[in-house]
Structure 1
Amino acid sequence: MMIRKVRILLIEDNPGDVQLTREALNEKYANEVILETVGDGETAINYLFRRPPFQDAYPPDLILLDINLPGINGIQVLEQLKNASALRKIPVVILTTSQSDRDVSSAYGQYANSYLIKPSSFIEFVETIQQLKKYWFNLVRLPTDYKAAS
């Protein structure tokens, strides 16, 4: 049986963190992941709502979202996403350097599914991605009719 690839949208403005995430996913999961990236909140909104130039974009199975984005921040992206009936079921994992209680509270207040703090070392970052994969990849691969019923 062929396993369906998980389509991930990474919303991250730091090119180094984008590369780190790409490398961490490719470390073990290159054949299981399609990674799309956008670098700011406005572009993320346009991508998710399939506005030009993203009208042909596939909806992601999972979103990795940084909070500290230029312009529209991650919490504002999350709010718009969770207020849209067509998008609210997409799991959103906050992946950020912020350890602020206010940010954690705001993220969960806008229905983030998880909040992960980016580790500073590559090895720890790969371990974090492995844990994320163990939990989320199997959930987002559930049949569509099962997700709709839950």
Structure 2
Amino acid sequence: MQPDVLEKYKKFQTKFSLPHLTELKETFNFEIEEEGEIFEQIRTEISNRVFSFTERIIEPIIGDADSLSGFYEQHMITKEDKERLFGLYKRLQVLKWKNNMLLMDPEEEDVAQWIRETWQFWNDDMKKELKHVCKKLSAGWADLKFKSEPTNYHG
């Protein structure tokens, strides 16, 4: 990465109380391209990673299962787990719609606030809850057994 790109972010970091760029890159697994607006790149990369969890993990569990795995996984977690996931989902939707507004009007201060808010949400709540759900689903799949009762047709 060019030193001037890093310096630009460091100025933003100080001005807007943002996390270290290295932390963001390692947590959300992205690289900054030499060209383009650094804030927009960071916001885009973070939103791609965070919102993919909504579609891949949360929606199939709390919504209608659109796959066989989703059907089974909905029965592997408790009502309380689903309620906590829905709480995350609501907060993710707030971030998603704020992100959509930033696509239309990417003011630096607003983008910085979105990055801070998303970073804090990821570290304080989302990562912990998703780890819990992933462990529970992994164990659920390991313990899954089919019933050996014959099915009777009553038609």
In proportion to residue count, which structure has more strand?
A: 1
Q: Greater RCO between the two (CA within 8 Å, min separation 6)?
A: 2
Q: Name the larger-Rg structure.
A: 2
TM-score, with structure 2 as normaliser: 0.30
In proportion to residue count, which structure has more helix?
A: 2
